[in-house]
Amino acid sequence: MTKKEKILLKASIALAAVFAVAPASNAMHIMEGYLPAGYCVAWGVICLPFLIAGFVSLKNKVRENRRNMTLIAMAGAFIFVISSLKIPSVTGSCSHMTGTGLGAILLGPAAVSILGIIVLLFQAVLLAHGGLTTLGANTFSMAVAGPFVSFGLYHLCRKLKVNRRVSVFLAAFLGDLFTYCVTSIQLALAYPSEAGGVGASALKFLGVFAPTQLPLAVIEGILTVVIVIGLETYAGPELKSIGFLRKKEAK
Amino acid sequence: MSKNTKTVIILLVAAVLIAAVPLFALRNTEFGGSDDAGSVMVEEIRGEYTPWFTPVLETALGGELPGEVESLIFCVQTGIGVGVIAFFMGRFVERKKWMKATGQEGDVPASGGERACTGSGDTDDPHR
């Protein structure tokens, strides 16, 4: 099986999955109109520095080496694909993954915030999925918090001499989970429960999101490892130029 | 088959299984979106809740996006992503073949048969 065939296979699986679960309605982001206006603005402002840092980081990467563009495009495309796949989960509801782990590992967490917000905008405007008012909050959870965890974990694992693929898996897996933990906390902050305040409310939201998300986070980890294997095999020079591989490590 | 190929296949099969098993195991479930569950939770905590802003597209359409159209747009999103990944992967694969054929494996020359390579300063590796 050649790489192309593999990609074809993956594409068809992706399409099949979309068709399989298409009737499912909205999934995981905070829904349009579900956060009080104050929170919308606050989260948006919190995201701003990350977005600016991300923009600068992307610009520098491209200026440093035009070839980096390809990996940036691929990381963005990966988020596009992964976050469009709604997958049925053990709890009987569907959710989708974030796909931001790959970008965070390859490009650093700030750069991903830009890629993430593009996807979130696409879904908010065209799909009524997530929303424009909740864009700030969703950007923070999916394109800032998750990637930072992925990035940190990956580099921690590499420091500890964990196998590269295992590191990639762990980073993507926990980054995905963390995204939804942040979502829960964001909802809890806006809707503290009367009995136990923010904490109890956060646990309630986590109870909804976490069991659904767990298997999906595993899938996200797996897919990220698969694409990293593909890139390691075929895109050594790009990975070197972006600083993912050192020269000697490339095949 | 190389070791990598085997790993990739095993991983993909595992991913598909994880996705497919719930579908068959929980036969009579609706598989609604989990943020619907989220909204239910909001109402549970807060009592009745009406979103204060409706999605722009729904406002423009004067109703919800038809399910079929929604799936179309999701497919478009997937398609864009897969297209970009497949395009670059295809180029990488071809380039690797080309490099092998010309005996330059290991390090890409500036003219590595790739348009983007004609840009400046792509020979230095800062991490060396």
Q: What is the pLDDT of residue B116?
A: 44
Q: Which two tokens stand for residue B85?
A: 């990944």
Taking phi over 0 as left and psi of -120 to 50 as alpha, with beta for the rest, B116 belongs to alpha
CB-CB contact of A235 with A64 (8 Å): no
Q: Please give the residue that has the higher pLDDT: either A9 or A220.
A: A220
Cβ(A216)–Cβ(A85) under 8 Å? no
Residue A207 lies in a domain: yes
Q: CA B112, CA B99: separation in Å to the nearest integer?
A: 8
Position A153 scores a pLDDT of 92
Cβ atoms within 10 Å of B27's Cβ, excluding its own? 6
Nearest to B29 by CA among A28, A213, A93: A93
Q: Within a domain: residue A131?
A: yes
Mean pLDDT, residues B20-46: 70
From its phi and psi, is residue A176 left (phi > 0), alpha (psi between -120 and 50) or beta? alpha
pLDDT in tens, A82-114: 888 888 877 777 788 888 889 999 988 889 999
Domain chopping of chain B, boundaries: 1-52, 63-105
**Closest residue in A to B53 (Cα–Cα):** A33
In a domain, A110, yes or no: yes
Our count of domains for chain A comes to 1
* Chain A contact for B86 (CB, 8 A cutoff): yes
Closest chain B C-alpha to A211 CA, distance in angstroms: 10
Share of chain B above pLDDT 90, in %: 7
**Nearest-angstrom CA–CA distance, A129 and A127:** 5
pLDDT tens for A128-175 read: 777 888 888 888 888 889 999 999 999 999 889 888 889 999 999 999
Q: Which chain A residues contact residue B53 at CB under 8 A?
A: 32-33, 131-133
Percent of chain A beyond pLDDT 90?
A: 13
- Smallest CA–CA distance, residue B96 to chain A, in Å, is 6
**Would you call B57 and A128 a contact, using CB atoms and an 8 Å cutoff?**
yes
**Would you call A229 an interface residue with chain B, using a CB distance cutoff of 8 Å?**
yes
Reduce the secondary structure of A133-162 to three states and give it as a string.
CCHHHHHHHHHHHHHHHHHHHHHHHHHCCC
Structural domain including A73 reads: 35-249
The radius of gyration of chain A from alpha carbons, rounded to an integer in Å, stands at 18
Q: What is the pLDDT of residue A85?
A: 83
pLDDT at A198: 81
Disruptive mutation site among B2, B34, B73, B128 for chain A (greatest number of A CBs within 10 Å):
B34
Mean pLDDT of A193-220: 82
- For residue A211, the domain's CATH number is 1.10.1760.20
| Contact yes or no for A68/A238 (Cβ under 8 A) | yes
A165 exposure class (CB count in 10 Å sphere: 0-12, 13-18, 19+)? middle
Task: Report the pLDDT averaged over residues A188-207.
Answer: 80
Q: For residues B95 and A231, what is the distance between their CA atoms, to the nearest angstrom? A: 13
